[in-house]
A = this chain, B = another copy of it.
Amino acid sequence: MSRSTRSGTRGEILDAAARLFAATGFKGTSLQDIAGEVGCSKAALLYHFDGKDAILAELLAPAVEAFTTLDARLAGLGDEDVQLAAVEGYVDLVMRFRREVTVLYDDIPALLQRPAFAGVHGMSDRLLDALAARSPAPAARIAALMVLSAVPVICMERIEIGVRTAPIMIGDDELRSILTRSAARTLDLRGA
């Protein structure tokens, strides 16, 4: 379960796939690429996994699980507390699963259609609602959407936006703090 150097060929496949998916995207990585990185045949991948999708599902499973946990926690909060908790929980989630988020961002619509991510749509909807403090006002929902879309981009391991700016070299704690405060400003959230 450690981030790098899993044991056995199966583990090596997962490691290589995680690296390549994050670097060149899910669609942009072929089974041949992974096999080449591992040093085995493409058929070996399909011996250990039911297919390319199965590799992806196993890689993203921990992130989906953590998202589910956050979803459950937010569900138990009242409208007053839910917004701040959503901001902090979301920033934390994305930062903890940077690599997974990077992979997911490659092609969200197609990826989320897979059965392994059946519940993600609903959870995303509820998270958006929480970020908007469960307000139906357009201004609140747009600000929530902005936060929802901006946070992953900042944390991604690969720059998807057109900018080629030098990576911002700061520690995770400072990044988390800046992200949380910026998101709170976007949402016009008091007391953050």
A residues with a Cβ closer than 8 A to B are 27, 108-109, 112, 120-121, 124-125, 128, 138-139, 141-143, 145-151, 153-154, 158-165, 168, 170, 174-175, 178-179, 181-183, 185-186, 188
Cα of A148 to Cα of B160 in the assembled complex, Å: 11
Determine if A160 and B128 form an interchain contact, defined as CB atoms under 8 angstroms apart.
Answer: no
Residues of B within 8 A of A141 (CB): 165, 168
Pick the 6 closest A-B CB pairs, nearest first: A146-B150, A124-B162, A149-B153, A150-B150, A186-B186, A124-B163
Residues of B within 8 A of A148 (CB): 161, 163
Between A139, A146, A183, the greatest number of chain B beta carbons within 10 A of the residue's beta carbon is seen for A146
Cα of A186 to Cα of B186 in the assembled complex, Å: 4
